[in-house]
Amino acid sequence: MKKVIYENVADQKSAAKRPPVERTLSHNEVPENLKEFAKGRSFYIRTYGCQANLRDEEIMAGYLTAAGFARTQDPRKASLAIINTCAVRENAEEKVYGEIGSYKINKQKDKDFMLVLAGCVMDENNVAQSLMETYPWISLVIGTHDVTRLNELLSKALEKKASIVSVRSFASEVVENLPSVRSNPFQAFVNISYGCDKFCTYCIVPYTRGRERSRKMEDIVKECEELVSQGYKQITLLGQNVNSYGLDFQDGTTFAMLLEAVAKTGIPHLRFLTSYPTQFTEEMIHVMATYPNIDHWLHFPVQSGSSKVLKKMGRRYSREEYLDVVSRIKKAIPDIALTTDIIVGFPYETEEDFQQTLSLCEEVGYSSAFTFIYSPRSGTPAANWEQIPPEVSHERFLRLKEKIDECTAKSSAECLGKTYTVLVDGPSKRNAEVLSGYAPNGKLINFKGPSYLTGCFVQVKIKESHVYSLVGELAEDPLIAKARDVSFQMHCDPLLKEYLKLDQAVQNDPEIKSLGEALLEKKKKLALAFGDDISYPNAKREYEEVLQKIRNHPLLHNRDALREQVEQTLLQIRDSIR
Ligand code: 5AD
Ligand code: SF4
């Protein structure tokens, strides 16, 4: 029987309480035994669920890379695998059990193989204990609050030759200085807050990710500035409810202020997830309408079109209030694309309530939507209520899907003939000659073009519309688009920026200007004295004195010291075009 050390086990009730927030820095030194273990070994991570989980994956990849592990995309070749789970709906949770079973082979082939279970499912009561009893090849179970202790806990498991469970059910930490390996070189996710305070009656998030706590504005802006200087083109700010960002500081900080500060970093495209409808203030609408780099796309979960169901769901708005915010947003930003989340089959939902959801979809005119059948989650209030028969929920789900497809097709058709700025993701999986990318309104666009446009912004004119995607045509010379991208990258590069700044200072410095004039004069004098044995040595000395003064001038010295590195960067940029 394998030894299991239970450091902490999940307790959903205490996870939902609000402790005082502690701000700390991640300890990034790697324990020696883990460094030794990582040599020549690789890791694999499989993530389920939302963007918060995807960002956790990037952070866990950051820890493992720092430890010295390589990464593999083949789970069978991994010496360490992480399953990053999602608890929002039951079917997402069920998939995980099959996947844990599949790693038995890895353990049979390699007795040192380590399987790590992470993510929201681990934060549910009794899950870790039952996993440890059923699957002896699990080495470590961590909750969402323990991601920052990954290396420390792996090291402990190696040292004690035991399996470890550490699921801290509290939400008191905001950890900065996190290592991270971002999954996309030009689009980045940035966490702005963790957890949620809303306690919608169907939702498990406040019991897994805990109460809401915001990162400090200066830490978020600094992270975004670094992304800009690394050449990132798009940032998505992440929070379960971005609109309540900063309320926990109780100093008047709002999400609108943060959004404005991030827009000012110069990131070309800025978006955010997820908005709580009635906390979407006039200030937010104003900021969104003012800054051209904030995409006119808004994910605006409604959940239901019936005020009665919304009340049961614990959503703090009625159908009318939701529609009122939508109409104010549309008035200020006429080309806004709205997407949403909708749950059907929630307890007490009648056919009439469902009809209201259908009519609301039509009224808003969503450009797309995520649709879900209600899934009771243990520990949430609605799980104890009388449930709708599954066949009724399924039938409503199909009708809703039909309605959403109708809305999506209609909004796609409205894109016909328009030209959009598209951030190119790369060649499409099915055809290498076809590139794909997303327009600022969130629509997927396919078009023919050279693969060197990956990561660039291009102008694409829409020629065909399908329900889930659009087909377009490049509306400009691809080389011009690439040249624009290179110029953008040069402007973002911190080294080139510093060089240009120094060069500008050199141009404007009066002392350097007069030294330059003096040098010219001495040069003339030198030329005139040429051949005259008496005046030439004097003229040469005077000329060299001025030259020396120029060489020793700190501004010129600093600029020229950067020149070699600048040349290297330019060569790298040249190679990236080839
Ligand atoms: N059942 C079905 N859907 C759910 N969601 C959250 N909890 C549940 C649940 N118990 C949906 C909501 C939310 C999205 C992320 O997942 O629509 O906005
Ligand atoms: Fe869940 Fe509601 Fe919070 Fe969204 S706002 S994470 S649905 S509790």
Mean pLDDT over residues 429-436, rounded? Answer: 89
578 pLDDT tier (thresholds 50, 70, 90): low
Alpha-carbon span 461 to 567, nearest angstrom: 37
Tens digit of pLDDT for each residue in 391-425?
999 999 999 999 999 999 999 999 999 999 999 99
In which band, very low, low, confident or very high, does the pLDDT at 576 lie, cut at 50, 70 and 90?
low
In this structure, are strands 213-214 and 193-194 parallel, antiparallel, or unpaired?
antiparallel
Integer Cα distance of 151 and 57 in angstroms: 14
Which among 309, 328, 327, 326 is positioned nearest to 318, based on CA atoms?
Answer: 309
Ligand 2 proximity of 314 Cβ (cutoff 6 Å) = no
* pLDDT-derived band at 9, boundaries 50, 70, 90: confident
**Range name among 125-129, 265-269, 433-437 with the lowest pLDDT average:** 125-129
Residue type, 255: F
Closest ligand to C-alpha of residue 205 is 2
Residue 240 Cβ inside 6 Å of ligand 2? The answer reads yes
- 4-175 is a CATH 3.40.50.12160 domain: yes
pLDDT at 6: 86
Per residue in 80-109, pLDDT (tens digit) is 999 999 988 887 777 888 899 999 999 999
Percent of the chain past pLDDT 90, that is, above it, reads: 78
Q: Where are the domains of the chain?
A: 4-175, 181-411, 419-478, 488-576
How many A from CA of 199 to the centre of ligand 2? 6
Asked if the domains 4-175 and 419-478 are classified in one and the same CATH topology, the answer is: no
Please tell me the predicted confidence (pLDDT) of residue 577: 64
What angle separates helix 510-529 from helix 535-552, to the nearest 10 degrees? 160
**pLDDT bucket at 565, cuts 50 / 70 / 90:** confident
* Predicted confidence (pLDDT) at residue 55 exceeds the cutoff of 80: yes
Q: How does strand 457-465 pair with strand 470-474?
A: antiparallel
Least confident of 38-52, 535-549, 550-564: 550-564
CA of 63 to the centre of ligand 1 (A): 30
Query: 27-31, 95-99, 231-235: lowest mean pLDDT where?
Result: 95-99
- Residue 377 CA: which ligand 1 atom is closest? 10
Task: Give me ligand 2 centre to Cα 240, in Å.
Answer: 7
What is the band of 563 on the pLDDT scale with cuts at 50, 70, 90?
confident
Tens of pLDDT, residue by residue over 102-114, are 999 999 999 999 9
> What pLDDT does residue 169 have?
80
Residue-wise pLDDT tens digits, 324-375:
999 999 999 999 999 999 999 999 999 999 999 999 999 999 999 999 999 9
Question: Has residue 57 got a pLDDT over 80?
Answer: yes
CA of residue 109 to ligand 2 center, whole Å: 42
Q: Quick one: average pLDDT of 279-306?
A: 96
Ligand whose nearest atom lies closest to the CA of 53? 1
Question: What are the pLDDT digits (tens) for 491-532?
Answer: 888 888 888 889 999 999 999 999 999 999 999 999 999 888
174-217 pLDDT, tens digit each: 999 999 999 999 999 999 999 999 999 999 999 988 889 999 99
Q: Which atom of ligand 2 is nearest to the CA of 209?
A: 6
Find out if CATH 2.40.50.140 is the number for domain 419-478. Answer: yes
Q: What is the number of the ligand 2 atom nearest to the C-alpha of 314? A: 2
Which CATH fold topology does 181-411 show? pyruvate-formate lyase- activating enzyme (3.80.30)
- Cβ of 89 closer than 6 Å to ligand 1, yes or no, is yes
Per-residue pLDDT, 500: 86
Beta carbons of 201 and 376 less than 8 angstroms apart: no
Residue 287 or residue 231, greater confidence: 287
How many Å apart are CA 560 and CA 331, to the nearest integer? Answer: 53
Atom of ligand 2 nearest to the CA of 240: 6
Query: Which tens digit of pLDDT belongs to each residue from 246-264?
Result: 999 999 999 999 999 999 9
CB of 241 sitting under 6 A from ligand 2: yes
Tell me how far apart the alpha carbons of residues 152 and 63 are, in angstroms, rounded to a whole number: 10
Instruction: Of 574, 268, 262, give the one whose Cα is nearest residue 423.
Output: 268
pLDDT range class, residue 172, cuts 50, 70, 90: confident
Taking the C-alpha atoms of residue 488 and residue 233, their distance in angstroms, rounded to an integer, is: 10
Nearest to 168 by CA among 378, 53, 380, 11: 11
Nearest bound ligand to the CA of residue 382: 1
As beta bridge partners, residue 424 has 437
Cα–Cα dist 481/456, whole Å: 7
Question: According to the model, what pLDDT value does residue 486 have?
Answer: 85
Instruction: Tell me the C-alpha distance between 556 and 508, whole Å.
Output: 12
State if residue 203 touches ligand 2 by the CB under 6 angstroms criterion.
yes
Nearest to 67 by CA among 39, 108, 26, 97: 39
The protein residue whose alpha carbon is closest to atom 2 in ligand 2 is: 200
pTM: 0.87
Render pLDDT for 296-330 as a digit per residue (tens, 0 to 9): 999 999 999 999 999 999 999 999 999 999 999 99
| Residue 1: predicted pLDDT | 60
Which ligand 1 atom is the nearest neighbour of the CA of 202?
10
Q: How far is CA 258 from CA 174, 190, 254, 280, 288, in A?
A: 17, 12, 7, 14, 12
Ligand 1 in reach of 301 Cβ (< 6 A):
yes
Ligand nearest to the CA of 86: 1
For ligand 2, the distance from its centroid to the CA atom of residue 305, given in whole angstroms, is 17
